[in-house]
Every structure is written in C-alpha cells, then in structure tokens.
Structure 1
Amino acid sequence: MALSDDYHKEECIQGVIYNMFPSAPFEHATVNGNIYGELYAQLKHSLCSVFMENADLHFDEQSKDYVVPDIMIVCNTKAFKKGTKKYYGIPKFIVETLSPSTAKKDRTVKKDLYAKKGVSEYWIVDYKSKSVEVHYLKNGTYELVNVLMLQDDSEEDDYNAKEVLELREFPGVKLVLEDIFHHVDLV
C-alpha cells in the first residue's frame, strides 16, 4: 500500500532526502505535545506562533533544502506561502525531540543547518533519558549552555523537577522541566 502525498513526510538537507516514516514513538509525540501546549498558552496573544510537526521549513526560496522541526516558533507569519504548509524564513527557536531513527541527524546535520541559517536557540530533547540540551547561537555555531536530566524523586539531592527553562529570545516564556516529560511513562 502506497502512502498518500498528504501523509508522506520527508526532509531534504543538502540534496539528501530523509524519509520520516514510520511515525515516531508515543513518547516522542507526548513530549512534543507537552512543549507545544505550554508554548502555545504563553504565546497565543503575541505576534509569534508555535508549530508542531506540521510546517515545512524552507529557509529561503532559492534553496531546495527543507525540514520539518518538531517544534518551532516563528514571528513573521507573512513568511508562510499561502495555500501550503511551507514557511520561508528563520525561526527564533526550534526543538527536535530525539527518536531512534532521527537522533544522529538531529544532533549533526540538522543542528549544523540550523546554526548556519541563524536559528538563535536550539533544544535537543531526549524522552528516553528525560533530558534537555539548550544550545544558543554564538558566532555562527551552537554553544551548549545547559543540560538538564529530570530527577523527579523529591528525596534525591539532585531533585530538579521544578527547574524552569526560559527561552532566551522570548523573555517570560518558560517551561518547567517536569512538564516537558509529563505522561511520558504511561506506555
């Protein structure tokens, strides 16, 4: 059975096509939903919009490259090509949630692409280790500024479930570490 064009998801980076089928695991979708929900609630009355796995990111109209970030925040909604799910521009914030089939690409090829194109803040989230890596763009490359691994046992010395991560480009927009991984262990 062939996939319909509407369902088929892929990315093209430096001319290489990456098939994004099969879909990511439940935990991946849960983490993305948690992050999206928190960001949407905090940005819904702003000029910026948050998208989850549903917009093709084309950095410019000349390039053939496009990616589908797990989460991205865009503030120039006029950069969407009408009648398509294509965005032409530079998001200020992107999250990639690791999956077994995408982890290497998210940590290398996509990370390098996002830095080259000027995405200010890039988070890598791993639902298996319940960790978040925060990268800030500095002089054209990413600098790792924080790594947090959820420790939600309040009896432990390194308990950090209530740790707050604030987005650099969006002062006042915050995510609580335990909220990012809420319900990941349901399955």
Structure 2
Amino acid sequence: MIKITQLSQLDLEATYNYADYLTWQLDKAVELIKGKVMLMSPAPNVKHQSISWQLNGLLFQYFKDKECHAFAAPFDVRLYDQHKSIQADQDIYSVVQPDLSIICAPEKLTEQGCLGAPDWIIEILSPGNSKKEMQTKYALYQESGVKEYWMVYPYEKAVHQFVMDASTEKYQLIAMYAEEDYASPQVFPDLKIDLQEVFAE
C-alpha cells in the first residue's frame, strides 16, 4: 500500500472512508464529508482562537462535575445517518473536526474521538470556510442527529442557534444572539454565556 503523506496523492473526486482516513499521514488537516475530502481552512487567526479559548474555558467550568464532556479541535467526530446502526470504519464516510463538541453519551467516546452525533456542536466561522460550515456541515449535522448547532460569526460578533425539531428531524433557527446578549443552549438551559466576554478582544 502506498503511504499517503501529501494531499496531492489523493484524488479529490474519489470517495474515501474512515478506514482510508486512518492511514493518511498528511501535512495538512482535512475532513471527510460523505466520502469527499474537504480541505480545512488555514491555521485559525487570532480572533478565531480567542473566541475558541473563551468558550472552551466557560464550557470546561460548566461541565467540570457533569457527565457530559467538552472537546476542542483537533478532535475527530465520526458521523453517520442517525437512522442507521453504528458502522465499521470502512462504512463511515464522514469525519469532521468541529471547533467545540459536547458529548453526553460516554459510549460514543473512543480512543479515536467520538463515534456518533455529539449533543451540541459549535463552529466558529472563518472567511475561508463559512460556505462549508453553513451548507455542507449544516446538512451533515442535521442528518446525523446533532441536537444543537451553533454558528459563531467572529467579525459580526453574533451567534446563530439551531435546534433539532424532534418531530421533523430538521433544524429550527431559534435565536440570533448579538454581542451584548447572554446565549443559552436549549440542551443545557441553565448555562448562560456572556457573549461580551466571548467576543472580548
């Protein structure tokens, strides 16, 4: 088997699975969405990292004595259609690295990361990946059964909160928060996040 160490060795039109992904030793970070290789944005900028750091600290404090766990990228989340059973590595075609993932089912955690949908995913958008986050990942997270999905807009200092409607299995946009607001996830209603603190320069 040829050792894959460069992105140029991959056919970006081909379909790959998680078993393939595990063998790669690439010099660039990639995600796998429905079998297609998706390039991740260049190294996050200061604004992105500052927001991630603030959220990570707040979530760490909140979940410290709870059974749920928060993980920051890089952290592999393997996703599949929620109506199908857990698959073997060669049957999984989506591996993503959300900025922040909150997982409450310990059986989903493995040495490789998370197998199945996290309860809550937060993505901090960058100019180079906003289309991917807004369209491709939105559809993937919805299909996979992620209960709540937040899109954080660093430059607009805003958060869009999407929550899964149990009856339709579709996301509903239930809130659009601004910098001066306190944001609260529906899956953890007692958690109040001061967005002025999150977006502080």
Taking structure 1 as the reference length, the TM-score comes to: 0.83
- Percent sequence identity is 27
| Structure 2 letter corresponding to 1:53 | A
State the SS of the aligned residue for 1:17.
strand
State the SS of the aligned residue for 1:148.
strand
State the SS of the aligned residue for 2:71.
strand
Structure 2 counterpart of 1:71 = 100
Unaligned residue ranges in structure 2 (runs of 5+): 1-5, 8-23, 80-85
CA contact (8 A) 1:58 1:67 kept: yes
Unaligned residue ranges in structure 1 (runs of 5+): 151-160
How far is the alpha carbon of 1:105 from its aligned partner?
A: 0.5
| Structure 1 letter corresponding to 2:78 | H
Indicate how the Cα distance of structure 1 residues 7 and 182 shifts in structure 2: closer, same or farther if over 3 A, else same. farther
State the SS of the aligned residue for 2:110.
coil
How far is the alpha carbon of 1:20 from its aligned partner?
A: 1.6
CA contact (8 A) 1:115 1:137 kept: yes
CA contact (8 A) 2:150 2:161 kept: yes
How many residues end up aligned between the 2 structures? 169
1:97 paired residue among 106, 124, 140: 124
State the SS of the aligned residue for 1:23.
coil
C-alpha root-mean-square deviation of aligned residues, in Å?
1.9
CA contact (8 A) 1:8 1:21 kept: no
Residues of 2 paired with 1:174 and 1:17: CA distance? 36
Residues of 2 paired with 1:7 and 1:33: CA distance? 24
State the SS of the aligned residue for 1:66.
strand
- Structure 1 runs of 4+ off > 4 angstroms? none
How far is the alpha carbon of 1:16 from its aligned partner?
A: 1.4
2:157 paired residue among 130, 153, 177: 130
Residues of 1 paired with 2:176 and 2:27: CA distance? 34
Taking structure 2 as the reference length, the TM-score comes to: 0.78
1:88 paired residue among 115, 119, 122: 115
Counterparts of 1:24-173 in structure 2, within 5 Å, are 24-59=44-79, 60-61=86-87, 62-82=91-111, 84=112, 86-138=113-165, 139-150=168-179, 161=180, 163-173=181-191
